[in-house]
Amino acid sequence: MRRSFLQIRWKSLLHPWQQVDWWLFALPVGLTILGGVMIGSVELKTGSTGLSVQHWVTGAVGLVLAMAIARQRYEPLAQWHWITYGITIASLLMVKAIGSEGELGAQRWINILGFHVQPSEFAKIGVIVTIAAILSVTPATTLPAIGRILALIAIPWALVFLEPNLGTSLIFGAITLGMLYWSGAKLGWLLLLLSPLVSAILFNVYLPAWFFWAAIVGAVAWNSLPWYRVGTLLALAVNLVSGGLGQFLWSLLKDYQKRRLIIFLDPNQDPLDSGYHLIQSRIAVGAGGLWGRGLHQGTQTQLNFIPEQHTDFIFTAIGEELGFIGSMLVLLVFWMICLRLVIIAQNAKDLFGSLIVIGVLSMLMFQVVVNVGMTIGLSPVTGIPLPWLSYAKFGTLMNYVAIGLVQSVANYRQRKLF
């Protein structure tokens, strides 16, 4: 009798989260715990203490937020998306007006009652909700629909880019492309959207490669645009002009951002300054071998050869102290998270919920790829933290909020996941 009562009581407690994906709670929590362990392994040598505990406390608060959000229906967000968009823009404008300046002149934070809030992190969630609401009514199956999305995203993107925050502005691009694709945009159109960026790089680096790229762009435009003759000429013209545009955007970057992008091609050009991060990071990851040197045993990590290893370069500590096996297990966890997100997106009851999930998927996947890539020298250093593992208090909270939105979509779907 008592056992039946306890079972009923337990089921009643779990009823508000009856259809949530519990794996999607467990995996981020596991990463947060591991992140705290690795931060604790390196924090004494960085001159900081208590960061691991702060990381775990932030994760606990984030988990509570995620579970609370999972109980709420996500559908009303579609009706309030313009308010969400307005709050996003207003918060980014506040950064320019009253934001505090951090390292290297970056102005990204607002001090509220002693807490440093980073509006660009909230902006990622706001952009996802706004795009999902609009595309759920007008899918990206036409060029005007895509143009509308690009016009909306241009304002928050520009505000974040000018903070300056190159990494988050790139995340906005990844979110937009992923959601446009899921909403029905042709792959050729998405390639044409990316083509000016590629042209800006090739035009200023290697002109013959730009000619080859222009030929590809012309072929894609010819085969994918409805007005193929005019469209092809327009696509070629845009890619030609983007060479000069690239110079303009380059002039907007801070000196340290320029050095990061240039030194990525050859870190040995400046091994004691701009290339130091990349060189030391690759040495540390390689030194870990198959099984790693063990906690508190990494030479590069414990001797503090790598700056910012508790934030942007936490994967370096994982690679050295836990080795190839530990690194691959971490990547496997991220892959499982992405898999769960795809399953939830496929089983969502409406396009709005499905697009929210794909936006979160695009955001997380891009951050993981870029962060791990810069750690092993496959991408430039952009200051993008590794979700749930890096010490990034407000970023960690927003990642849990994003998971809470996904869980709301899962919790109020019409059929169970398999």
Nearest to 33 by CA among 259, 333, 357, 350: 333
pLDDT of residue 77: 94
Q: Which one-letter amino acid corresponds to residue 3?
A: R
Alpha-carbon distance of 156 to 119, in angstroms, equals 11
Model confidence at 7: pLDDT above 60:
no
Both tokens assigned to 168:
């988050």
pLDDT digits (tens, 9 = 90+) for 106-163: 556 776 665 677 888 899 999 999 999 999 999 999 999 999 999 999 999 999 888 7
Alpha-carbon distance of 56 to 223, in angstroms, equals 52
Alpha-carbon distance of 235 to 232, in angstroms, equals 5
Q: What is the CA radius of gyration of the chain?
A: 23
pLDDT of residue 13: 59
Q: Which one-letter amino acid corresponds to residue 383?
A: G
DSSP state, 206?
-
Q: Give SS3 for 1.
A: coil
pLDDT of residue 416: 47
Model confidence at 404: pLDDT above 50:
yes
The pTM score is 0.89
End-to-end Cα distance, the chain: 33
Cβ-count burial of 105 within 10 angstroms (0-12 exposed, 13-18 middle, 19+ buried)? exposed
pLDDT digits (tens, 9 = 90+) for 261-313: 666 666 666 555 556 667 777 777 777 788 888 777 766 666 666 666 777 88
222-242: b or e for each residue (b if 16 or more CB lie within 10 Å)? eebbeeeeebbeebbebbeeb
Confirm if 300 and 280 have CB atoms less than 8 A apart: yes
Both tokens assigned to 354:
């499905």
Count of CB atoms situated within 10 Å of the CB of 201: 17
User: Which residues are 110's β-sheet partners?
Assistant: 117
Provide DSSP, 277-302. Answer: HHHHHHHHHHHTTTT-S-TT--HHHH
Confirm if 53 and 35 have CB atoms less than 8 A apart: no
Name the packing angle between helices 81-98 and 143-161 (round to 10°): 30
pLDDT of residue 95: 83
Nearest to 139 by CA among 351, 348, 346: 351
Length of the chain: 418
Domain ranges of the chain: 22-45+53-411
Model confidence at 52: pLDDT above 90:
no
The alpha carbon dihedral of 40, 45, 51, 53 has a sign of: positive
pLDDT digits (tens, 9 = 90+) for 163-176: 778 888 899 999 99
Both tokens assigned to 162:
């000018």
Both tokens assigned to 358:
């794909």
Alpha-carbon distance of 171 to 42, in angstroms, equals 28
pLDDT digits (tens, 9 = 90+) for 191-217: 999 888 888 777 766 778 888 888 898
Model confidence at 87: pLDDT above 90:
yes
Alpha-carbon distance of 279 to 31, in angstroms, equals 26
Count of CB atoms situated within 10 Å of the CB of 245: 17
Residues 6+ positions from 164 with CB-CB distance below 8 Å? 106, 252, 253, 254, 257
Provide DSSP, 44-112. Answer: HHHT--SHHHHHHHHHHHHHHHHHHHHHS-STHHHHTHHHHHHHHHHHHHHHHHHPEE-GGG-EEEEEE
